Structure 1
């Protein structure tokens, strides 16, 4: 039965001849496997045998496909329930017919042949997952617990099925390895003040490794859980372990270090009591042009009172503008779960005009419906919780486009700038 020893390289069929129609960040891709013009070491005889075997495979493939199609036509009233599948716009269907891959099918109605077609759905929408916090040692000897939130999408459904078995697990492991490899080369101070820059660097590194899987990472957001051990050599006092100054996250790391150093010295003078009486006095700046809005924070010593829903609503209305509507361009319905068990509904319309916000349901159908607890919503608007982190952890439920839901962060940034 076997005329010679060893294995023969069988043709892969459709996958060799299939040209990807999906175009993403990395352009058009061809099939991942190609034998090219490499000569068969067995010589002309081996090529003739492989060619005859390929023709025999195609003939058998055609005969079986024709018989199954004829059987489906004869039993169509019944087989139609099993052979016709509806694929929505945000999905593609990958079909293997007798082991040979076909072009992505959908959206719309897709015909499947019973018994010989094996299919798999691929979701093209933006999704997110979290990298669990892991302990690592920075360059200066500090031990920290670091995690990340990753937002991604599939741009080539065929590669996502052919190249890796579990796409999310493989991407999570790749992101964790890249994060660990990058952070161990940086000090604790660099990690704290250059978190955004490190996230952009990780985004490029992860995309370089996952582009052959048909996956594109859109966003990487680092989250530091805790500093388990301070640096071994703390030469600059409290500056090495201070977090970034709120409101200055987008500035250069050197500017943040100077600002943190200035604030630490001010706090040290106030705590030691060596400052002048004028330094101990508090100063309040009052805007005499615009009427005062409801304060988001009421500080008494180190305590902080979280605002009520009415105070949040009164703080949202002044920041609504045409520029914010141009950035977001969506309407939101927010269903809030109160501690008493009741539910309250608010709307934020940033789709037209200067935007509106208020109680009740929005006019028309909202683009995104958000479900969140009252405490988590307060943390979101105070900046203690990021929308992507809330979604990944399950504290924020999103019905609709996740990309539009994350645009709500532009409103939160505008509120921070106004405070």
Structure 2
């Protein structure tokens, strides 16, 4: 009975989070935030020990902030800011539940399985990219079955690493990830079309770097074969992106708010044409609520800490001092990436470092364009989760391809992440210069 009550509570939180987009009422936010905390308490037994350890570290940091003059009210305000994520994660669960069952998605997966061996890893990477755009780590279940469980270790390692690169780089331009949500919550004025356009360019560059590093000699025919397999799902991706941009432009919502409104509507349209799968989609969505405790615990704790940090006068004074030094834009951009990437190598999830640092950066006037800061944060998250043993993407990939997480986190993808980070910093720095007033 506990799980039924827990699912009901999260459903109410979801409803309250979406309602808050249109109803600016303090009582509604307070009630929904209270329900979110109740959900976390009810989920205590299903949340991983590692997540509780991280949350404990955040709690200790929060105590330090309070000792330095922080206010309990700011912590609570941070919890309220996390409501948008409590609306996002169930929305993504609903989207993934139906994406699995779309015929064109199944066809694309089947076509990838027919690729010749020389194109296999490129196909896995592109497949994980396309499926990961909406399915996130669910993409690994789609592509891992294309590699035999009895395949040699070297083959499984290459396939797993390629799949991880594909899924992780989809974070660069997909609105269906927590990274996008965090960036959007602190930089809500950045237009959706700019985020998607620049993110797509960075994603294409990241995939090209992967091909140049791991698919030599370069064979354009192999790339063409892999891309052709994914044409059936291209329409779904374009419709999702276009719908989010249209709602954002005409409804006056942030990109994140547009995702919360748009995706349930698109899912409803699909169910009207395929009513036979409606019950299965609803069941899988609700069952998926049981797996959201970890993410909601970490993001709620991180948002509370980040909000309290930037509102504490003693800390804000130090930030103002750093801004007065007129740190070059390239250093800020590189710092936004590396503050996520380097701790990730030691097992610290970017959900913590990204939230706190982005909150600090956006609390002060910097000589970095908001779009550039947005993409720098998302890029750091993308690459950090690729090389962090605490990231669910690494753990899931290791499980699906029968590998040790250590092999994936500190294997060939580590060098790839560093090279790609350098390329992203160079591109974003150049673009920031072009966007800066003369």
Q: Structure 2 length normalisation: TM-score?
A: 0.21
Q: Which has the higher contact order (CA 8 A, sep 6+)?
A: 2
Larger strand fraction of residues? 1
Q: What's the TM-score once normalised by structure 1's chain length?
A: 0.22
**Structure whose CA Rg is larger:** 1
Greater per-residue helix proportion: 2
